[in-house]
Amino acid sequence: MEESMVKNLVEKVPILKEMQKGQEVVWINPDKVSFAESMKDCELSVEDVEDAEARLKRFAPFIMRCFPETKDRDGLIESALTDILAMKNRINQKYGSALEGRLLLKQDSHLAIAGSVKARGGIYEVLKHTEDLVLEQGLLSVEDDYSCLAEPEFRRFFEQYTVQVGSTGNLGMSIGIMSAAIGYRVIVHMSADAKQWKKDLLRSRGVTVLEYESDYSGAVKNGRRLSDEDPKSYFVDDENSRNLFLGYAVAANRLTGQLAEKGIAVDEEHPLFVYIPCGVGGAPGGISFGLKQVFGDHVHCFFVEPVQAPCMLTGMATGLHGNISVQDIGLSGKTHADGLAVGRPSGFVGNVMKPMLSGEFTVRDARLYDYMRDLLEAEDIFLEPSACAAFQGVIRMNQSEEIRKYLEKNGLTDKMKNAVHIAWATGGSLVPEEMRKTYKDTYLDE
């Protein structure tokens, strides 16, 4: 992008000036409207989410057969919703947050099979593609028991097909592990930010990992090009995929049951605030879309991004979405939060989120390690550093003038004592023990 264009953008969007300096910011979305208004021109609907949920139920017998660890949930890949009162107390004491209400952790960090939020969208997209193939070939009907897909004759059928994806790590793991289990040939195109242990794990499952010196967008571009050259290859496009998005959105329906089990109401008097780490946007966008379908105006969704890679914030604040990168405004795009190391956001997600998202926070890398240690010491729960970005939103709720105005404008100020806050943990359970120790011992200069 030309320097003059950037200069004009900074003049029109003042928050960019703070972002260019690598400062932590709080941004409230000026385009947010009521839920009913937001759905008027939306290309997706609640019926699309219900269709995705039905498909996952059809595949449950197959998932149980291939991954016995899912039997306790009848083949559904779902995570716990955990009260973290000790973490709330630590946050209030250590960071002076004065957070009211109840704080919970949605542990997608411990989802079966892939150990991250990507087990939702990534695995769903592979299953959707698999169903499309077998239905098209007349090998299966939707009334059949899908556990038969694990039989040798089906594996032989799938071996003639390839699945490819570009990834900084966790998406590649979910796509790779499930695709290999079905029988596909799998190629994961990894950016320079991807951790070595994630590459090693994939290779141990028979996945081909191609490494690039470029960032996430470069890996995606190369993966898409190679996949397009092979008529029997399917490319999982994290930047534009509706299927990934809907796989993530299914989380919301399941959350309602978990909240009910805890006696938690979400309504006008009991607002719900959700904080989700954000990379290219697919996972947080899909989850937020699903939550809005269920809770409407009573849920307030915030994304959290690293100060050097706030791609979704850059796209949404400027209105340029996928047509601008963080590098265009002078940021490096490099961060210790490998899953969030994305320079250019999904234009598709940005446009869907434009009327729905409440706002964004950015966070310095050093804090990710501090929050990781805080949670480990307070609750004995380990998350990888990028997943701990969610706590930046929790902590900044009572420390920001922008948030104070948001609460006031939305009539929430006197309801915060009844509020429920959910930090959405996006990854961590598959991190090897030696890597956990490295994370615990990592201290960065502010």
CA distance 235 to 52: 19
Domains in the chain, please, with CATH? 3-44+68-114+245-440 (3.40.50.1100), 119-244 (3.40.50.1100)
Question: What would the mean pLDDT of 315-337 be, rounded to a whole number?
Answer: 96
DSSP secondary structure string for all residues of 268-321: TTB-EEEEEE-SSSHHHHHHHHHHHHHHGGGEEEEEEEETT--HHHHHHHHT-G
pTM: 0.96
pLDDT of residue 214 exceeding 90 = no
Q: What share of the chain has pLDDT > 70, as a percent?
A: 100
> 258 and 81 in contact (C-beta within 8 Å)?
yes
Name the nearest CA neighbour of 249 among 298, 278, 283, 295: 283
| Cα 9 from Cα 219, distance rounded (Å) | 28
Cα 93 to Cα 86, 89, 347, 387, 415, distances in angstroms: 11, 6, 39, 22, 22
When pLDDT is averaged across residues 201-210 and rounded to a whole number, the result is: 94
Structural element, H or E, at residue 187: strand 185-190
For residue 60, what pLDDT band results from cuts at 50, 70 and 90?
very high
Dihedral in degrees, nearest 10, Cα atoms 224, 226, 229, 235: -40
The pLDDT, as a whole number, for residue 97 is 93
Helix and strand tally (H, E) in the chain?
19, 11
- In this prediction, residue 157 has a pLDDT band, given cuts at 50, 70 and 90, of very high
pLDDT tens for each residue of 165-199: 998 889 999 999 999 999 999 999 998 888 899 99
CA distance 182 to 158: 7
Q: How confident is the model at residue 215 (pLDDT cuts 50, 70, 90)?
A: confident
Return the pLDDT at 193.
Answer: 80
Query: What confidence score (pLDDT) does residue 192 get?
Result: 83
pLDDT at 3: 85
pLDDT, tens digit, for every residue of 12-42? 999 999 999 999 999 999 999 999 999 999 9
**pLDDT of the residue at 423:** 98
Task: Give tens-digit pLDDT for 272-320.
Answer: 999 999 999 999 999 999 999 999 999 999 999 999 999 999 999 999 9
Q: Check residue 385 and give its pLDDT.
A: 97
Residue 375: both structure tokens together: 């949670």
